[in-house]
Amino acid sequence: MIAAGAARLSYGARQGSATNRRETAMELFEVMRTTFSAREFTDDPVEDSTLYRLIDNARFASSGGNRQGWHVIVVRDRATREALVQAATPAAKLYSAQVRAGENPWNTIDPTAVDEATIAEARAPGALTEPLLEAPVLLLVCVDLRVVASVDRDLDRIGVISGGSVYPFVWNILLAARHEGLGGTLTTMPVAGEPELQALLGIPSHVAIAAVLPIGRPKKQLTKLRRKPVEEITSLEQWDGEPLRA
C-alpha cells in the first residue's frame, strides 16, 4: 500500500507544473463531451515539449495484443505541408462533388453517380485542406500493418478492424490536446495519396498512414456539440431491439 501510494504521488508530481495543471485540468467527461474538430487556429506556437506531453499520455491507449504499432511523424516543414495538401486535394474534390450530389462521400456500399467531369470541376473545401497549411504543427500518425490483427480481412467488405489498433491512440492525442486547451481534427484526406507520401517521408510500404492531425490553439473554443442521443445509437439484444434507456 505504501509503494502504491508513493507511485500515485510520484505520478501526480510529474503531472504538476508551474502553471499547476491539476487545478485547471478538465474533468474527464467534460473533455469527452467537448473535444471538437478544430480547424482554425491562433498563431500561438505548440512547443515540442507540449507535443511530448500529449503523446506521453496518449500512448497508454489500447491496441491489439498491446503491440503498439503506431508511429508519429511531427511535421512543421512548409514543403511537406504542401505535399499533404496536394495528396488530399483529389480526395477532397470527390468528397465535395458527392456531398453536392446528396451522397455519403467515399462510402463503399452505394456506388457513386458522380462522373469524372463533375469531380474535376469540384472545388476542394478549404476546411479539408487549409488546416494542413495553417495549423502550428501536424501529427502524422502511422501504423505498422505487420502487428495489426485484421481479423475481418477475409470478409466481403472493407476492413475496419485494423483501426482498432491505432484510432484509440489517435483519439487520446485529441483528448489530451483538449485537456491542454489545444485542439485539432482527425483528417484522412491525404491518405488517398499514401504512396506518394510514403516516398516523400520514407515510410515503409508495410506502414499505413492512419490520420493527419493539425494541432494548435483554436480561435474559438466550442463547449456544446451536437450528437445523436443514446436512444438513437443503441438497441437491446437485436439490431431492431428497444433502445437502451437510463
Q: Which helix (H) or strand (E) holds 233?
A: helix 230-233
pLDDT of residue 26: 73
Q: What is the CA radius of gyration of the chain?
A: 20
124: region left, alpha or beta (phi > 0 left; psi from -120 to 50 alpha):
beta
Cα(148)–Cα(171) distance, rounded to whole angstroms? Answer: 18
Coil, strand or helix at 242? coil
Cα(203)–Cα(195) distance, rounded to whole angstroms? Answer: 9
The pTM assigned to this predicted structure is 0.88
- Which residue segments constitute the domains of the chain, with CATH numbers given? 20-214 (3.40.109.10)
Q: Taking a C-beta distance cutoff of 8 angstroms, is the pair 147, 69 a contact?
A: yes
Q: Taking a C-beta distance cutoff of 8 angstroms, is the pair 83, 197 a contact?
A: yes
pLDDT of residue 24: 53
Question: Mind listing the pLDDT tens digit for each residue in 32-86?
Answer: 999 999 999 999 999 999 999 999 999 999 999 999 999 999 999 999 999 999 9
